[in-house]
Amino acid sequence: EAGVTQSPTHLIKTRGQQATLRCSPISGHTSVYWYQQALGLGLQFLLWYDEGEERNRGNFPPRFSGRQFPNYSSELNVNALELEDSALYLCASNGGILVETQYFGPGTRLLVL
Amino acid sequence: KQEVTQIPAALSVPEGENLVLNCSFTDSAIYNLQWFRQDPGKGLTSLLLIQSSQREQTSGRLNASLDKSSGRSTLYIAASQPGDSATYLCAPVGSGTYKYIFGTGTRLKVLA
């Protein structure tokens, strides 16, 4: 069974541009979570989507947004990129509310120049 | 607001030692708590999950305990090996929010 996949693996952008990161959950999983791991900082929760709806949001500005598609894959969009957005972005999935363990993808490393 | 602290921040030990990694959290209203390992530049691998009603979980050389009322969890690694070298993260999941709040991790290096 395929795990959580993310694309691209690496992304280089310049300040002010927009970045789009993609995540495909494990087959059958309906929830997708996004986390940011900036250099020297811990993992921080960004967004949680379940059944196509945003369920929870971390303490990030509105230029971080996303969506979940009918096939439960998800997209994270970061607008007006800033240097401090450079980070590893991890996606995780599970079977939905009250289901245990989130399964993590390998991440997308975003570098903003 | 949940805050998670992990001690020590870094640890370097010779192969074969038994290790204790500590995690403390401020909000005891948790749904469960999970321990992960992260290899450099990689995603997270789940190690152990402890439900809020449980006291401990074991998997191979790993044992995790949970004292919800005091806001503490401990990961015990027996007979450490160089392959155990990684960053270990604990993450309580909040009741009602179902999102992980991660600690800053313990960076472990096991020397051959």
d(CA A94, CA A101): 7
The pLDDT tens digits for A35-77 are 999 987 788 989 999 889 998 898 899 999 999 999 999 999 9
Reported residue count of chain B is: 112
* Percentage of the residues of chain B whose pLDDT score is greater than 90: 69
Using DSSP's 3-state secondary structure scheme, residue B13 falls into: strand
What is the C-alpha separation between A26 and A72, in angstroms, rounded? Answer: 9
Taking CB atoms and an 8 Å limit, are A106 and B32 in contact across chains? no
- What's the whole-number average pLDDT of chain B? 91
pLDDT band for A95, please (50, 70, 90 cuts).
Answer: confident
DSSP 8-state code for residue B100: B
**Per-residue b/e over B95-112, b at no fewer than 16 CB within 10 Å?**
eebbbbbbbbbbbbebee
pLDDT for A6-40, tens place per residue?
Answer: 999 999 999 999 999 999 999 989 999 999 999 87
Query: How far A23 CA sits from the closest chain B CA (Å)?
Result: 13
Residue A102: pLDDT band by 50, 70, 90 thresholds?
confident
Note the pLDDT of residue A32. Answer: 93
CA A99 to chain CA centroid, Å, is 19
For strand B10-14 and strand B19-25, is the pairing parallel, antiparallel, or unpaired? unpaired
Residue found by looking up tokens 């280089």 in the block:
A12
pLDDT tens per residue across span B56-96 = 999 999 999 999 999 999 999 999 999 999 999 999 987 76
Average pLDDT over residues B23-27: 93
- Total residues belonging to chain A: 113
Measured between alpha carbons, how far is B48 from A82 in angstroms, rounded to an integer? 36
Contacts of A42 in chain B (CB under 8 A): 89, 102-105
Count interface pairs A-B at CB distance under 8 A: 55
- CB-CB contact of A113 with A10 (8 Å): no
Specify whether the CB–CB gap between B48 and B90 falls below 8 A.
no
| Mean of the per-residue pLDDT values of chain A | 91
